[in-house]
């Protein structure tokens, strides 16, 4: 086995050869699993159970035949047949000892897999209405989507990150109205402010900005604002719609400025917030373009021509019940305005028209019921709805001192992402957000996220990285000096355990990409850090034996590279220096002498 090979690939080749004695091996998938118990070996293979039915033989008998047919290998210590026919494989230390050098040779490319084979894939996430600051719920979707995009990129996909900007429709009109009503009060006019308008301080700030830039240009008589509007209590939505209509009538062409100012302010604020959070997008897709380009008209007519649209009470309805939805859905209201659903149909058809082989939508868990109707519309339009994948993200609940946290915000309505980042920092926020499966409820412990202790997983991982940096700094050499290290000197149990864990990283990336589960990277890094800390406690690195020293330094340098890559996938930094809660720093003891603890010398 060369330095470019890994033990798992080597074993798969052995089993394919052995299985080829019984069937055409090219049609057989060889699956190797890592047993949870070390006593069951390094890998377990179920190929005998796959073959047993076709060969009409007992699986254990087939397993014995497979083992007898395995080519000789210097890396295999022994095999055992277990249970109904599993083949457990125990490897020699030599199978793992070259892993560190493979990592150092590959550098940041270690962990790359070719699962995607260049497939063009799009991830659309966050896509919050630009009607106010991003909140902690948006933050979880942002962290998940960005991490997933990174994982898929490392797994060989061409990934485009997209934010769908809801810059058309009623919600933006409500924001424009809210801003204008606050603006009118700056002219000493009393204007009743609807309870269902946007209430946050950011609305007043936008009104102040307009007044500072343009003075009283957009002032209109307050008495005309609410003219002929329904009662705000008995018909709040009708009241609000009437105010919007009056604003458009009174402002005329100036309404576009107020609307545009509110949109740009909130969209810019969200973009800056996400950029500071390390979440970047390749494309910001405007909903307006769907209306202006006629894509919504085209999509609805396409469905209409195929018999999936009917008219009722002056509106056009999509027959979504025919595709598993609980009821049919309006696409064109009786007032001639398209619904958000109509825009979403056109938008998703456009995604496929842009050449994406698969599209992934990251939605809030409250959108679960929306999946069937969008997929139904795609199917009705002749698209392959299976190419659309929806991942749901549950909300995050913040806790402080064991109690649900109540944080003051500038909006006065919810905890903003910016507030959270200010309290715990970007690294903790990014890591804690992806510490659970996206569709699982997340309790975000603010105290833990801020602590500099081993209980804080992100600190624990970063501390492992800083410890390695400290040792390598004390050594003073370069990684190039480690490429010729004699890896056969890595024989101790803690060293081999760490090598095995490093070897799992490409498999972890592959599985995270297949399952759309970046949280598995977080769990892997916790395990990797634990094994590094265990080695650090037991082992001296800067020993007098030069050959042993270089071998051990190559091991921790490889560990550092994997930690860096893994943290980068999650959008978390890898600091080289860190402080402790006791006021000390990781540099205080860059290398232990072994006087106070047992060491592997």
Task: Give the pLDDT confidence score for residue 587 in this predicted structure.
Answer: 55
User: pLDDT-based confidence at 80, cuts 50/70/90?
Assistant: very high
Helix/strand/coil for 194: coil
Q: How far apart are CA 10 and CA 75, in angstroms?
A: 9
Specify the pLDDT at position 55.
Answer: 87
Q: What is the DSSP string of 280-307?
A: --SEEEEHHHHHHTTHHHHHHHHHHHTT
Higher per-residue pLDDT: 408 or 207 = 207
Instruction: Supply the pLDDT for residue 28.
Output: 77
> How sure is the predictor about 165, in pLDDT bands with cuts at 50, 70 and 90?
very high
- For residue 57 the two structure tokens come to 């033989």
Rounded CA-CA distance 325/329 in Å is 9
Confidence at residue 24, expressed as pLDDT on a 0 to 100 scale: 74
pLDDT at 3 > cutoff 50: no
pTM of the model: 0.93
Residues 91 and 76 sit within 8 Å (Cβ to Cβ): yes
Question: Residue 155, CB half-sphere, CA atoms under 13 Å: how many?
Answer: 27
> So what's the pLDDT on residue 591?
56
Tens of pLDDT along 143-154? Answer: 999 999 999 999
- Is 48 within 8 Å of 19 (Cβ atoms)? no
Q: Provide the token pair at 226.
A: 């609410």
CATH 3.30.1360.70 for domain 7-92, yes or no, is yes
Q: For the CA atoms of the chain, what is the radius of gyration?
A: 30
Model confidence band, residue 344 (pLDDT cutoffs 50, 70, 90)? very high
> What mean pLDDT is reported for the chain?
92
What stretches of 394-478 adopt beta strand conformation (E)?
396-400, 403-404, 442-445
Q: For residue range 532-584, list pLDDT tens digits in order.
A: 999 999 999 999 999 999 999 999 999 999 999 999 999 999 999 987 655 56
pLDDT digits (tens, 9 = 90+) for 422-480: 999 999 999 999 999 999 999 999 999 999 999 999 999 999 999 999 999 999 999 99
Report whether pLDDT(592) > 90: no
CA angle 486, 488, 492 (to 5 degrees): 120
pLDDT at position 596: 33
> Which range has the worst mean pLDDT, 55-59, 328-332, 440-444?
55-59
pLDDT, tens digit (0-9, with 9 covering 90-100), for 186-208: 998 888 999 999 998 999 999 99
* Position 590 confidence tier, pLDDT thresholds 50, 70, 90: low
Q: What is the pLDDT of residue 1?
A: 45
* CATH superfamily name and code, 457-588: Isoleucyl-tRNA Synthetase; Domain 1 (1.10.730.10)
Domain 125-282+394-450: what homologous superfamily?
A: HUPs (3.40.50.620)
- Percent of the chain at pLDDT > 70 equals 94
Instruction: Look at residue 68 and tell me whether its pLDDT is greater than 80.
Output: yes
State yes or no: pLDDT of 395 exceeds 80: yes
Provide the token pair at 519.
Answer: 């949280």
pLDDT of res. 593: 38
- Residue 362 or 24, more confident: 362
Q: Which helix (H) or strand (E) holds 549?
A: helix 546-569
Tokens linked to 414: 């919810």
Q: Which token pair is 199?
A: 């209430």
Is residue 588's pLDDT more than 80? Answer: no
Higher pLDDT, 142 or 601: 142
pLDDT of residue 190: 87
What does the pLDDT read at residue 391?
97
Per-residue pLDDT at 410: 44
Q: Which helix (H) or strand (E) holds 362?
A: strand 358-364
Q: Three-state SS for 136?
A: helix
Using one digit for the tens of pLDDT, what is the confidence trace for 99-140?
Answer: 999 999 999 999 999 999 999 999 999 999 999 999 999 999
> Three-state SS for 93?
coil
- The 3-state DSSP class for residue 484 equals coil
CA dist 372 → 37, 128, 342, 367 (Å): 42, 21, 14, 10
Report helix angle 417-424 to 426-433, nearest 10.
110
**pLDDT (average), residues 468-497:** 96
Mean pLDDT over 349-353 rounds to: 97
- Say which residue the tokens 């599985």 belong to: 511
Sorted by where each begins, the domain ranges of the chain are 7-92, 125-282+394-450, 293-375, 457-588
Sheet containing 43-45: order of strands: 32-33, 43-45, 86-91, 76-82
Q: What's the confidence (pLDDT) of residue 582?
A: 56
């Amino acid at each position: 086995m060369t330095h470019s090979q890994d033990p798992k690939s080597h074993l798969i080749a052995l089993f394919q050869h052995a299985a080829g004695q019984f069937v055409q091996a090219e049609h057989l998938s060889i699956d190797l699993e890592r047993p949870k118990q070390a006593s069951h070996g390094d890998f377990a293979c179920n190929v005998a159970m796959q073959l047993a039915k076709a060969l009409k033989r007992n699986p254990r008998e087939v397993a014995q035949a497979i083992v007898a047919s395995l080519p000789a290998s210097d890396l295999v210590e022994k095999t055992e047949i277990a249970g109904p026919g599993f083949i457990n494989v125990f490897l020699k230390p030599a199978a793992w000892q070259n892993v560190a050098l493979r990592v150092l040779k590959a550098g940041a490319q270690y962990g790359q897999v070719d699962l995607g084979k260049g497939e063009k894939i799009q991830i659309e996430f966050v896509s919050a209405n630009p009607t106010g600051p991003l909140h902690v719920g948006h933050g979880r979707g942002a962290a998940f989507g960005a991490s997933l995009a990174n994982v898929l990129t490392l797994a060989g996909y061409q990934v485009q990150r997209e934010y769908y900007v809801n810059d058309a429709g009623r919600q933006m009109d409500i924001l424009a109205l809210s801003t204008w009503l606050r603006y009118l009060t700056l002219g000493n006019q009393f204007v009743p402010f609807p309870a269902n308008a946007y209430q946050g301080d950011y609305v007043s700030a936008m009104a102040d900005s307009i007044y500072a830039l343009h003075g009283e240009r957009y002032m209109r008589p307050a008495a005309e604002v609410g003219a002929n509007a329904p009662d705000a209590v008995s018909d709040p939505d009708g009241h609000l719609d009437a105010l919007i209509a009056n604003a458009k009538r009174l402002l005329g062409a100036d309404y576009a400025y107020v609307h545009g100012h509110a949109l740009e302010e909130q969209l810019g604020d969200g973009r800056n917030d996400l950029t500071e959070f390390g979440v970047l997008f390749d494309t910001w897709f405007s909903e307006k373009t769907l209306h202006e380009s006629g894509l919504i008209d085209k999509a609805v007519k396409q469905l209409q021509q195929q018999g999936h649209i009917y008219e009722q009470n002056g509106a056009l309805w999509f027959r979504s019940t025919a595709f598993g939805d609980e009821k049919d859905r309006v696409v064109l209201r009786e007032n001639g305005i398209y619904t958000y659903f109509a825009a979403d149909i056109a938008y998703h058809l456009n995604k496929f028209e842009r050449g994406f082989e698969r599209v992934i939508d990251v939605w809030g868990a409250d959108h679960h019921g929306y999946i069937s109707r969008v997929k139904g519309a795609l199917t009705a339009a002749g698209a392959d709805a299976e190419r659309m994948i929806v991942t749901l993200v549950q909300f995050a609940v913040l806790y402080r001192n064991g109690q649900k946290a109540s944080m003051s915000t500038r909006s006065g309505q919810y905890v903003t992402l910016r507030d959270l980042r200010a309290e715990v920092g970007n690294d903790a926020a990014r890591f804690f957000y992806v510490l659970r499966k996206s569709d699982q409820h997340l309790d975000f412990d603010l105290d833990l996220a801020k602590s500099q202790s081993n209980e804080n997983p992100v600190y624990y991982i970063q501390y492992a990285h800083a410890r390695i940096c400290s040792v390598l700094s004390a050594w003073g050499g370069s990684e190039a000096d480690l490429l010729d290290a004699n890896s056969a000197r890595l024989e101790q149990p803690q060293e081999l355990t760490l090598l095995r864990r490093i070897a799992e990283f490409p498999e972890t990336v592959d599985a995270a990409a297949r399952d759309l589960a970046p949280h598995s990277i977080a769990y892997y890094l916790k395990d990797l850090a634990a094994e590094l800390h265990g080695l650090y406690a037991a082992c001296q690195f800067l020993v007098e034996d030069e050959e042993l020293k270089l071998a051990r330094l190559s091991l921790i340098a490889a560990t550092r590279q994997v930690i860096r890559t893994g943290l980068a996938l999650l959008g978390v930094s890898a600091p080289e220096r860190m402080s402790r809660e006791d006021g000390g720093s990781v540099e205080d003891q860059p290398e232990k002498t072994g006087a106070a603890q047992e060491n592997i010398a």
